[in-house]
Structure 1
Amino acid sequence: MTLFENEDNNLLDEDDEIIYVSKSEIKRDAEALKKLGVELVQLSKNELEKIPLDDALSRAIELAQKIKKEGYRRQIQYIGKLLRSRDVEPITQALDKLKNRHNQQIALFHRIEKLRDDLISTGDAEAILTQYPLADRQQLRNLARLAKKEQEENKPNKSAKQIFQYLKELSEIE
């Protein structure tokens, strides 16, 4: 068994595998971490609290949120450098979870808008009542009738907004 030294003066066995990482791959990894840093900087304080960050990284992100122009670019590079020395898997998982929650919220709003539009066009509240059994049938019918009248008279959609708000509240209850 022969031992030899590598560039870092570490003793290596001939059987040890030396993993070669190209300069381009290192640059791609660094760029990906900078993009992750930009995503973190764009989050609100409430969202940042849900992501597992250490103190140094949190302070760097808060500072980047306050900085403009060239200083911002340098701060993003610094955040990328900090991320290189950390396990970013929990951070990316938390970020994906936040994004998914946002996507779920948008999908919910689209479903509510469709229910509202169907209610206004048909006047039938059955679809809503099957999905939200706590809904008040009479209130929905009154709001739908008012919304249809507002549409016909080209008035502002006050009742349609009230229906949407009511359905949104119902979805939060259940």
Structure 2
Amino acid sequence: MHEEDEFNEDAGDSGPSRSEERREALAVLELAKRLVEQPEARLQQIPMDEDLRDLVRAAQRITAQIAHKRQVQFLAKHLRREEPEALDAIRAALDHDKSDHRREAQALHQVEYWRDRLVAEGDPALTELLDKHPAADRQHLRQLARNAAQEKLKNKPPHAFRELFRELRDLLSDPQ
């Protein structure tokens, strides 16, 4: 009966359940897929040892679908052998890149928003923009907006439209 008690005590703390192990393995497989999608320059910035980096490069070179999938799974197997801290550092580096991309996309959307407003609304939108950015060149922006509106009406190539975009991008990216 003493052995039976020891068996019951061990059953209570047998480690992670099979479902938890599977979720962790799938998370590492997703991490491996994300690593394989990274360009070489970005791969150099991710904190990992050279053996893992070589495995990522090998998976990137393989184009046959099944062989590529098998290589990614092989990479995931090696990633599962890494320390949790190393995996967390890799995830943090990849997530940092994703947040940078979101900020850049948001900034471009802001530029597009102001460009479209300036072309469509004219002076009222320009006044509002200048309230937020008093250092902007009112006359130059007004001229570009008018030229862009004329280009749009006459179905001409969007030279002023693009130039307005560049000017706004420079204005909105300036920290002042």
Sort the TM-score into its range (normalised by shorter chain): 0.7 to 0.9
Does 2:78 correspond to 1:82?
yes
In the alignment, what sits opposite 1:101? 100
Query: Structure 1 residues 106, 38: CA separation in 2 closer, same or farther (over 3 Å shift)?
Result: same
- Residue 172 of structure 1, CA deviation: 3.5
* 1:19 aligned residue: 14
Partner of 2:165: 164
- TM-score, normalised to structure 2, is 0.81
User: What is the distance in 1 between the residues matched to 2:28 and 2:151?
Assistant: 52
Instruction: Report the equivalent of 2:46.
Output: 51
Query: Number of aligned pairs?
Result: 165
TM-fit CA distance, 1:93: 1.4
Q: Are 1:129 and 1:135, in contact at CA under 8 Å, matched by a contact in 2?
A: yes
Instruction: Give the aligned residue type for 2:79.
Output: L
Map 1:95-134 onto structure 2 (within 5 A). Answer: 95-124=94-123, 125-134=126-135
Shift of 1:73: 1.1
**2: distance between equivalents of 1:133 and 1:57?**
51
Give the letter aligned to residue 36 of structure 1.
L
Higher helix share: 2
Q: 1:67 aligns with which of 53, 62, 65?
A: 62
Offset at 1:104?
1.0
Q: Deviations over 1:61-107 (max 9, x none)?
A: 11211111222112111211121122211111111111111111111
Query: Any idea what the Cα deviations from partners look like across 1:25-52, whole Å, max 9, x if unmatched?
Result: 3222212111111111111223223321
Name the structure 1 match of 2:151: 150
Distance change >3 Å, CA 75–CA 133, structure 1 → 2: farther
User: Does the CA-based 8 Å contact 1:150-1:156 persist in structure 2?
Assistant: yes
- 3-state SS of 2:52 partner: helix
2:36 equivalent to 1:37: no
C-alpha distance in structure 1 between counterparts of 2:38 and 2:133, whole Å: 33
Alpha-carbon offset, residue 114 of structure 1: 0.7
Listed as ranges, the gaps of 5+ residues in structure 1 are: 7-13
What is the TM-score of this pair, normalised by structure 1?
Answer: 0.82
Contact 1:115 1:127 in 2 (8 A): no
Q: For structure 2, which runs of at least 5 residues remain unmatched after alignment?
A: none
Identity %: 35
Note closer, same or farther for the CA distance 1:60–1:127 as it changes in structure 2 (3 Å cut). farther
- Find the aligned partners of 1:171 and 1:52 in 2 and give their Cα distance: 33
Greater shift, 92-101 or 118-127, is seen at 118-127
Does the C-alpha gap of structure 1 residues 61 and 144 become closer, same or farther in structure 2, counting only changes over 3 Å? same
Once the two structures are superposed, residues 108-154 of structure 1 have per-residue CA deviations (whole angstroms, 9 ceiling, x without a partner) of 11111111111112222233334444432221111101011111112
Give the drift of 1:19.
Answer: 3.1
